[in-house]
Amino acid sequence: MIGIREIPYDETLPQLPKVLDASLMLEKFQNTLFETEQSGQRFRVTDCEVVYVKYKPRKPCTVCYQIVIRDTSTNQVHAQLHSARIFESGGSILRYTNAQKRPLIPPCSGKALIHIPEFEMVIWSFPNDRKLGALPQLTDSVLLQEKLLPELLVRLFGQGWTIDGATTDVMNYVPRYSCTVKVMIQMRSRQLAEKTFLTLYGKTYVDQKSGENAYAVMQELWKTDARKSGEFRMAQPAWYDPTRNIFWQFAVPGTTLLQYDMKSPQFAKLLDKAGGTIATLHTLPVTETAHIRLEDRVSRLQHSNLALSHLKPHVIQLLQNIVTLLIDQVEGLEDQPETTLHGDLHFKNFIVDGASVAMIDLDEIGRGSPFHDVGSCVSFLFHQGLEAGLAGSRIEELVQVFVQGYQRHVAWDVTEPVLRWYVVAALIDERVNRCLKKAKPGTVEQVERLLALAYRLVSGTQKIPLGDSLSCIDESPSTHHFLGTK
């Protein structure tokens, strides 16, 4: 169970420390979720975890909780998601009244909608979400099996298939924005009586345009020669359902790069391949994508101090110094090529299957400097290395492996000053801000470590090691010591 999180005092939302106290919210769920006293006696909330926080100073805050409920009559337990909006004084009653007017789906246990006036808080029980109207359909196994999936299978494989069963698993839920559900299907051919299993992912978005664009971009990538030859591996787009705003794609077999031990020799080899996968994406032509501009990143950096306003003065000053140095260095950045960008790169978006590395979550594809992506990956590598307690020398070795894996597959040079600028920008704009949004215990210490690293990099007291290009990191006998193996 997660206790009180490190969150600022906000005069607009003074209740924030309470709503982010999982112990206190466990009690609130127990007292408000169930319709009757008898139900409250039968169903007991045994655990509560804050799994997502979206907070901006002086704005309504979104929080997602996962609670565990035990049925005392059967001793069975199940987990349940709840998304909440926290408002300014007097701001919750109208939202609650309006929410009551919408159709609501009963959850496994308790109410579909809760109002906690003393916290100015409205809570929706999953799959209810004010912005994601397709969620009830996407998470209903019966509806999937009887209607959605038969329509999908006809589009994919034609007539002649029967669905014997379907199970769902919520993989990623961002309240009011998107939800991805894993659907495992048992199906058989009517003609051949053969049984088979199929795994698909369905994703619904807050707006229809996002789903349409994601499907179009992934179709374009799927038709490239690099994908057909196996040089670039990705999830296969299946279909975009415009009526229900659901984008379907086939599962990619394997496990995420994040699940591998960063201390192992295998991780370094996979990191090298991940660099090559990014490089290949950067060379693929994709039309009509959003432009990821340097100016937008600079603008976000200039406003990043708002999210840190609750930290110690010396930490805020350190951030301001870093941002000032970054802005001063913008004019010195050399011209960079414009490439196809992933837009949200971290280790969870690489899928490892044997010796191959595929890329997933391609629905934020854009165009811009390749160093947006490379900088994001290196910043994530630094972050994960610090959190795993790796020695600085080992982190630098891994960074060098990744960058060289990328450099070998592109025609442009990866220069240290340019890469260093984008890494520092990503440390602030992505890693620090995401730490703050999640607001887990230890956030302040995490942020201070990241800012200390960012300052060493931007001030030039620490360089990013690039080294000479390696012809083949998997086969060179001279790389054993370099990779940290014995």
CATH number at 337 reads: 3.90.1200.10
pTM: 0.85
Distances in Å between the Cα of 464 and the Cα atoms of 269, 368, 400, 419 are 19, 22, 8, 8
- Asked if residue 102 and residue 42 are part of one domain, the reply reads yes
Tell whether 403 is covered by a domain: yes
pLDDT at 318: 87
Task: Mark which of 125, 147, 168 sits at the end of a domain.
Answer: 125
Instruction: Quote the strand ranges of 137-294, DSSP E.
Output: 161-174, 178-189, 195-205, 237-241, 246-250, 255-256, 290-291
**CA–CA separation, 236 and 250 (whole Å):** 5
**CA–CA separation, 394 and 388 (whole Å):** 11
Tell whether 7 is covered by a domain: no
Tally of CB atoms within 10 A around 413: 10
- State the amino acid at position 154 in one-letter form: V
**Nearest to 427, CA basis, from 461, 391, 465, 456:** 456
DSSP H or E segment with residue 121 = strand 121-125
- Asked if residue 178 and residue 152 are part of one domain, the reply reads yes
Instruction: Quote the strand ranges of 178-328, DSSP E.
Output: 178-189, 195-205, 237-241, 246-250, 255-256, 290-291
- Asked if residue 318 and residue 437 are part of one domain, the reply reads yes
**Nearest to 262, CA basis, from 361, 432, 402:** 402
**Nearest to 47, CA basis, from 74, 71, 23, 16:** 23
- Asked if residue 326 and residue 185 are part of one domain, the reply reads no
Phi, psi of 273 (to 5 degrees): -70, -35
Task: Mark which of 70, 91, 125 sits at the end of a domain.
Answer: 125
DSSP H or E segment with residue 81 = strand 76-86
Tell whether 486 is covered by a domain: no
Phi, psi of 62 (to 5 degrees): -105, 130
Give yes or no for a contact between 441 and 53, defined as CB atoms under 8 angstroms apart: no
- Asked if residue 161 and residue 215 are part of one domain, the reply reads yes
Tally of CB atoms within 10 A around 114: 19
Tell whether 435 is covered by a domain: yes
Phi, psi of 348 (to 5 degrees): -70, -20
Q: Which residues contact 238 (CB under 8 A, 6 or more apart)?
A: 152, 155, 156, 200, 248, 249, 250
Containing structural domain, residue 359: 255-479
- Asked if residue 157 and residue 26 are part of one domain, the reply reads no
DSSP H or E segment with residue 78 = strand 76-86
Tell whether 1 is covered by a domain: no
**CA–CA separation, 201 and 347 (whole Å):** 19
- Tell me the CB-side half-sphere exposure of residue 483, using CA atoms within 13 A: 23
pLDDT at 349: 95
Task: Mark which of 125, 157, 192 sits at the end of a domain.
Answer: 125
Q: Which two tokens stand for residue 82?
A: 């709840």
- Asked if residue 407 and residue 278 are part of one domain, the reply reads yes
- Asked if residue 404 and residue 320 are part of one domain, the reply reads yes
Instruction: Quote the strand ranges of 290-387, DSSP E.
Output: 290-291, 339-341, 350-353, 356-359, 366-368
- Asked if residue 289 and residue 172 are part of one domain, the reply reads no
Structural domains of the chain, count: 3
Tell whether 276 is covered by a domain: yes
- CATH number for 220: 3.30.200
Q: Which two tokens stand for residue 232?
A: 């670039």
- Asked if residue 149 and residue 107 are part of one domain, the reply reads no
pLDDT at 486: 28
pLDDT at 473: 35
**pLDDT means over runs of 10, the chain (486 residues):** 50 91 95 94 95 86 96 95 97 97 93 97 97 92 91 91 92 95 92 87 94 94 96 96 95 94 94 96 89 84 64 80 91 89 93 94 92 96 92 94 95 94 92 69 79 93 74 33 30
Tell whether 10 is covered by a domain: no
- Asked if residue 396 and residue 328 are part of one domain, the reply reads yes
Tell whether 376 is covered by a domain: yes
DSSP H or E segment with residue 54 = strand 43-54
Which residues partner with 203 through β-bridges? 180, 247
- Asked if residue 276 and residue 396 are part of one domain, the reply reads yes
